[in-house]
Amino acid sequence: MNTFIPEGYKSLLSIYDTQKAISLLKRIFADNLGAKLDLYRVSAPLFVDENSGLNDNLNGYERPVSFDILHADARAEVVQSLAKWKRLALKRYSFWPGKGIYTDMNAIRRDEDELDNLHSVYVDQWDWEKVILPENRNLDYLKLTVMDIVAAICDTQSTMQAIYPQLSSLPRLEKRVSFVTTQQLEDLYPALTPKQRENAWVKEHKTAFIIGIGKTLKSGKKHDGRAPDYDDWDLNGDIMFWDDLLGCAMEISSMGIRVDPASLDRQLTLAGCDDRRALPYHKALLAGELPLTIGGGIGQSRLSMLLLGKAHIGEVQASIWDAETQEICEARGVMLL
């Protein structure tokens, strides 16, 4: 998807009201999320030691931003997500099953494939993680958690539209979640690309959870990449909403039940990442020393786009854009923050 501004688009809110609304939206949703999932807000790192194994490898080719620390004899990496740090934190903080944490995560994705309406090199999201019992490691528990998150999003939209009547012209988000696996999508739409399959399904169902990101399908291909050392590929997925303004499925959250020792062992081998077994985090996980958890990230800028009716992510976050994006937005009267 290249950068484009829909014909006749005009922001529903002024710049001043947009800034106020973003701040309010983030507070309301964070409170809703914490209440639905029983989460406590914590502080989180902007960077971690590069030798700790705590940074997210993403798809394996994205280069983290790194730098040396003068007086610590260490080299640090700006986090690409907090998936592993959160799980270690839950152990250190002695959280018990049913309780969890959330935090504001800011990251830099210098190797983002394409800058467009939904993608930026700057990432801001709510990262959350919750301790679970062994019997919770199943699809039913995953689906119940997804429905709680979707309910928190829909409740936030209702509150925002009550405060800002201008937003009432936006379609109400569908609270019912359609669950579908990546293999089912491939079977239904074999001639389409993974992104086209998502668009076809979500356009019809409006709100969906795509299950099974990272695993190899019958075709021998993957729907999308996912690092082998945080989500269980059989128990994860993406929450997506249909965005009428842009005419596409918008991924709001990547989440899942995390790997246990057995699934980590299997996925490291499948991904050709056995070298990670020697890292401190992975050694602890393989030894069964970390709690079983479920967690994910929820995009702050994307949720702001969706609930405020914005056409470009640059309208709700400050980042750096290529010349073409700047020219297109300026020509259509869209102000990039």
CATH of 15-331, one of 3.10.580.10, 3.10.20.30, 3.30.930.10, 3.40.605.10: 3.30.930.10
Catalytic member of 254, 263, 300, 301: 254
Q: Is 254 one of the annotated active-site residues of the chain?
A: yes
How many distinct helices (H) and strands (E) make up the chain? 9, 11
| pLDDT bucket at 59, cuts 50 / 70 / 90 | low
Mean pLDDT computed over 246-254: 93
In the chain, domain spans: 15-331
- 125 tagged catalytic: yes
Across all residues in the chain, what is the average pLDDT?
90
Does residue 83 contact residue 56 with C-beta atoms inside 8 Å?
yes
pLDDT at 58: 66
Full strand arrangement of the beta sheet holding 66-69 = 47-49, 74-78, 66-69
- Band of pLDDT at residue 1, cut at 50, 70 and 90: low
pLDDT at 332: 80
Question: Which of 155, 229, 243, 251 is labelled catalytic?
Answer: 251
Residue 251 among the catalytic residues: yes
Among 11, 56, 226, 232, the active-site one is 56
pLDDT at 314: 86
- pLDDT over 90 at 5, yes or no: no
Edge to edge, what strands does the sheet with 207-211 contain?
Answer: 39-41, 100-108, 122-131, 293-299, 248-258, 231-243, 207-211, 178-181
Task: Quote the pLDDT of residue 57.
Answer: 67
- Is position 56 annotated as part of the catalytic site? yes
> Considering 124, 238, 260, 315, which one is annotated as catalytic?
238
Per-residue model confidence as pLDDT tens digits over 109-168: 776 677 778 888 888 999 999 999 999 999 999 999 999 999 999 999 999 999 999 999
81, 125, 301, 317: which is the annotated catalytic residue? 125
> How do residues 258-315 score in pLDDT, each as one tens digit?
999 999 999 999 989 898 898 888 899 999 999 999 999 999 999 999 999 998 888 8
Q: Which residue has the tokens 């293999």?
A: 183
- 109: annotated active-site residue: yes
Task: Give CA–CA dist 101/41, Å, rounded.
Answer: 6
Taking residues 42-55, report their average pLDDT: 82
Q: What is the number of alpha carbons within 13 Å of residue 175 lying toward its C-beta?
A: 8
CB 260 within 8 A of CB 99: no
Residues 263 and 288: their CA atoms lie apart, in Å, by: 12
By residue count, the chain amounts to 337
Task: Note the pLDDT tens digit of each residue in 200-239.
Answer: 999 999 999 999 999 999 999 999 888 888 899 999 999 9
Question: What's the mean pLDDT in 5-9?
Answer: 85
Q: Which residue out of 11, 87, 109, 302 is catalytically annotated?
A: 109
Q: Is 49 a catalytic residue?
A: no
How much is the average pLDDT of 35-62? Answer: 81
Distance CA 49, CA 271 (A): 23
Residue 194 has pLDDT above 80, yes or no: yes
